Structure 1
Amino acid sequence: MLAPLLLLWPMSIAITYLVAKSIANQPFDHALENRVTVLAQQVREENGVITTRLPNGARDILRADDIDSVYFQVLDAAGRHVDGDRELPRPPNHDSDGDADKDGAVHFRNAALHGNPLRIAYLYINLDPLAPPDSSSPAFPRKALVQVAETLDKRALLANEIIKGVILPQFIILPIILALVWFALSRGLSPLAELQERIRARSSDDLSPIDSRQVPEEISPLVGSLNEMLGRLSQTIDMQKRFIADAAHQMKTPLAGMRMQSELALRQLDPDEIHRSLEQLAKSSESATRLVNQLLALARAENQPHAGLAFEEIDLAGLARGVVQDWVQASFAHNIDLGYEAQDEDVVIAGNALMLRELLSNLIDNALRYTPAGGSVTVRVRRDGDVALLEVEDTGPGIAPSERAHVFERFYRILGSSASGSGLGLAIVREIAGQHGAEVDIFNNPRSHSAKFPGSLFRLTFPPPVDDALDAT
């Protein structure tokens, strides 16, 4: 804030100088105008000869000045010298045919004589206003040029006095203003400096809220917003720490199994036992691979905000049909009937095809794992008014209402479940659904009539495509 004040000071001085010169010119220009007007009244034309009726005393009065040198000059229309100082410069358009300055009014211009700047007042006078315009001739000139000039010493003195009267107080007042501003800024910003030092002194893992009681009221909203951000950041870091700890814990089981089976295979001599150990090793490897893939999928989903997704118009029915076809072989291996149902019309939503395929794959995988052999899994796409519905239903054991709010948590497993899994699939589903603005609901399968296997129905409700969602990509 102090720097702009220091920059404005020279500008203020320059403006003051220009204004002072303008003010100083006005009274002296007025006096110069009076002189040239009085001199013009003394010019006469008799029998084609221009003369001035100017006694010596009047000449002395005309040139009287204690500071400046005063000059005057009278020329006829042909530029011949009539009276006064011969060396006084003529107007620039004196020899031209233009009448811009030859209107009888007093005009001013700046010039120089012997290197000294001059202020000149001049006018053209018509000596015989009744004569016709075409009667002018060198022998009978009708116009004469009258000029009075003076040097600029008085003007410079007055301008300097004005500048001194304005600038000198500034030299006294401005440092006082700067000191007061600096003091006010230092006092006002000192709490921010203290807050800065307190934040800088914190360790990298200290995300505790800042005590708002020790800051001025003016920056309390800033501290409040900063505390909210620190709280969100702390929650995010805690979630990441828990995620890493849970992931490490989950990885222990398949890795320990792989190590145990490999060591057992090394000790076995019977080929059949070695083969069984290798089969178990392959299963553990498959489980570890699936866990790693799901961890990567969840990380991609969580670290890909809605604004970063490339959304486009997607035929949800066509996408679901392709994903179901990819899982047909897996359903055969589980001896489960995997079906697909859709309406004849296209069901178009705005979304990211890669992420939606990941979402549906996790729902189908979850259904196949929990549905007993001989059961069925059905993927259904339909439209309900303006919204699109994606449903995956199975004939498995179902999910109790008390568990439905928890199954979307990472690494959550329903107690008593014998199905293998990492507990990440539904967490991935929730994350991707949230990025697409979709709601996920869990119901019992309305088509199941078994008390032991009531089945589950996962329903995703997608909002209608909005142009803004597509334009954002």
Structure 2
Amino acid sequence: MKIFQREQRSLFGEILDWMLTPLLLLWPVSLALTWLVAQGIAGNPFDRALEYNVRALAELVAAPQPGLAQFSLPQPAREILRADDADQVVYQVLDGRGELIGGDRDLPRPQDDARPPPGEVRLRDAELRGLDVRVAYVWVALDAAGTQQALVQVAETREKRSVLAAEIIKGVMLPQFVILPLAVLLVWLALVRGIKPLSQLEQRIRARKPDDLSPLDERAVPLEVAPLVSSVNDLLTRLKDSIATQKRFLADAAHQLKTPLAGLRMQADLAQREGAGTDELKQSLQQIRRSSMRATHTVNQLLALARAENGGVPITRQPCDLPRLVMDVVQEALPRAMERHLDLGYDGAMPGAPGVLLDGNPTLLKELVRNLVDNAINYTPSQPGRPGVVTARVLADPYGQVLLLQVEDSGPGIAATERELVFQPFYRALGTDADGSGLGLPIVLEIAGQHQAAVTLEDTHPGRLPPGTRVNVRFSGLVKGARAP
């Protein structure tokens, strides 16, 4: 069991969490708000009754002379006031000097700093002998100026209010205990039905055969999933094309290797036959050597193409002196060129010149130049007194914007109709007798693409015969303002 491994979550679980979590979090808030509202609703009718009672008692306060208060509550009225089976009801009447002239002495007085005008009834919460009470009070003027005021208060315990609030809360909350589980169940069922097309899509994909790369039906999935299915279809199309290309590549590679290997076997059989002379043995060995070199060259180019086609993995880059790389390749190819009586040379920018540093992979760039030079050597004929010419050239932009690599020859050239076809693996221009596998230019194109370079073909000598071939590789990823070491 791996520690710190993140548990894989399902889409169903994520949506269910996002829908139910707010619901479950808001439910206690709803209960609390219901409790507060119920308290207010339950208290309103009892507050109105308290206000009525305190007004009735205030009307019984008399002022026979200014500043003097009298209060008289008949016994039947006192009994009616206190006739409550659930709550205790007390009253209090104080004269202008704060002396008790009726009711209960223990009822606390209101704060004087918030005294309302005479005749205005106010309500407040208080405590009386350890019990929470609701108090209604009013000030009664004892003179015309209102300087002397009597206080009338009626207090009631909160038992009836609590009972009514509990009934209201019970009536509201009990249905919620039934509705909430039903809501959760309905959400779950809706999600099951909502993601059913995804399950069906999964089943269709799992039921496919390994070689079935046909596109998925985008009309059979919800609108929100259609972009995902479209992306999968694009991937399947690219994968199908890639597999087809690989199969064609392998078939062509097998065909290219078949000829030199068959030649090796035939020459070996000729060398082993009875009565073969020394000259015949030498000739067979030369053919074996030539066939083995051709097979080796083909295999090396296949490996180079495989290295160049790195599957989209970014290549490692560093500043590369392109003239130095080209001159190294030209020097390596000189023995082959001399063997074929070719004039191989280099001109253009020198190593260390301004604007010749290229931000690239030196191994791949050298492979690119090597294939261009090898192609030029292979396809350029040479005659005594009229040697073929192969020239490699690097032209640098003084402003460091573009670096141009050219490899040109004096060979038969490539027809304009074939200049796109020659970049396909194993394709060889019509009428070509030279040895080759048809992989050189595909390797060049692949490496150039990894360096954001453009490859073009043109005649070396337009309008002349033979026209020759010039390959232009235009680089733009330069290390600006730098010089080679």
Same fold (TM over 0.5): yes
Which residue of structure 1 lines up, in the alignment, with residue 9 of structure 2?
Answer: none
Q: After alignment, is 156-165 or 268-277 more displaced? A: 268-277
TM superposition score normalised by structure 2: 0.65
- How far the C-alpha of 1:406 sits from its partner, in A, is 0.8
Give yes or no for the alignment of 1:18 onto 2:32: yes
Q: Residues 328 and 160 (structure 1 numbering): CA distance in 2 closer, same or farther, change over 3 Å?
A: farther
* Residues 359-410 of structure 1, C-alpha deviations (whole Å, 9 max, x = no match): 2221112112222343232222332874332211112221121221111000
Matches within 5 A, 1:57-456: 66-67=85-86, 150=157, 154-155=161-162, 157-165=164-172, 167-168=174-175, 171-172=178-179, 175=182, 179=186, 182=189, 186=193, 190-211=196-217, 223-260=229-266, 280-305=287-312, 308-311=314-317, 314-315=319-320, 318-335=321-338, 336-342=343-349, 344-373=353-382, 374=387, 375-383=389-397, 386-446=401-461, 451-452=465-466, 454-456=467-469
Q: Residues 108 and 243 (structure 1 numbering): CA distance in 2 closer, same or farther, change over 3 Å?
A: farther
Q: Residues 7 and 395 (structure 1 numbering): CA distance in 2 closer, same or farther, change over 3 Å?
A: same
* Residues 213-241 of structure 1, C-alpha deviations (whole Å, 9 max, x = no match): 66677766665554443322211211111
Gaps spanning 5+ residues in structure 1: where?
42-52, 74-82, 91-98, 124-145, 468-473
Give yes or no for the alignment of 1:460 onto 2:473: yes
Q: Residues 59 and 442 (structure 1 numbering): CA distance in 2 closer, same or farther, change over 3 Å?
A: farther
Aligned-partner residue type, residue 372 of structure 1: P
Contact kept, 8 Å, 2:42 with 2:164, in 1: the verdict is no
Aligned-partner residue type, residue 214 of structure 2: S
Which residue of structure 2 lines up, in the alignment, with residue 78 of structure 1?
Answer: none
Q: Residues 404 and 338 (structure 1 numbering): CA distance in 2 closer, same or farther, change over 3 Å?
A: same
Contact kept, 8 Å, 1:363 with 1:392, in 2: the verdict is yes
Q: Residues 395 and 12 (structure 1 numbering): CA distance in 2 closer, same or farther, change over 3 Å?
A: same
Aligned-partner residue type, residue 334 of structure 1: A
Aligned-partner residue type, residue 361 of structure 1: R
Q: Residues 181 and 382 (structure 1 numbering): CA distance in 2 closer, same or farther, change over 3 Å?
A: same
Q: Among all aligned residue pairs of Structure 1 and Structure 2, give the percentage whose two residues are the same amino acid.
A: 38
* Residues 435-473 of structure 1, C-alpha deviations (whole Å, 9 max, x = no match): 333221111113x89623x21111122336599xxxxxx
C-alpha separation between the residues in 2 aligned to 1:282 and 1:152?
Answer: 115
C-alpha separation between the residues in 1 aligned to 2:18 and 2:40?
Answer: 33
Q: Residues 224 and 278 (structure 1 numbering): CA distance in 2 closer, same or farther, change over 3 Å?
A: same
- How far the C-alpha of 1:19 sits from its partner, in A, is 0.5
Aligned-partner residue type, residue 473 of structure 2: L
Contact kept, 8 Å, 1:310 with 1:351, in 2: the verdict is yes
C-alpha separation between the residues in 2 aligned to 1:227 and 1:213?
Answer: 13
Contact kept, 8 Å, 1:21 with 1:155, in 2: the verdict is no
Gaps spanning 5+ residues in structure 2: where?
1-14, 59-70, 93-102, 117-121, 138-152, 481-485
Contact kept, 8 Å, 2:89 with 2:154, in 1: the verdict is no
Paired residue secondary structure (1:252): helix
Q: Residues 177 and 265 (structure 1 numbering): CA distance in 2 closer, same or farther, change over 3 Å?
A: same
TM superposition score normalised by structure 1: 0.67
- How far the C-alpha of 1:350 sits from its partner, in A, is 4.3
Q: Residues 9 and 401 (structure 1 numbering): CA distance in 2 closer, same or farther, change over 3 Å?
A: closer
C-alpha separation between the residues in 1 aligned to 2:469 and 2:217?
Answer: 49
Q: Residues 356 and 298 (structure 1 numbering): CA distance in 2 closer, same or farther, change over 3 Å?
A: same
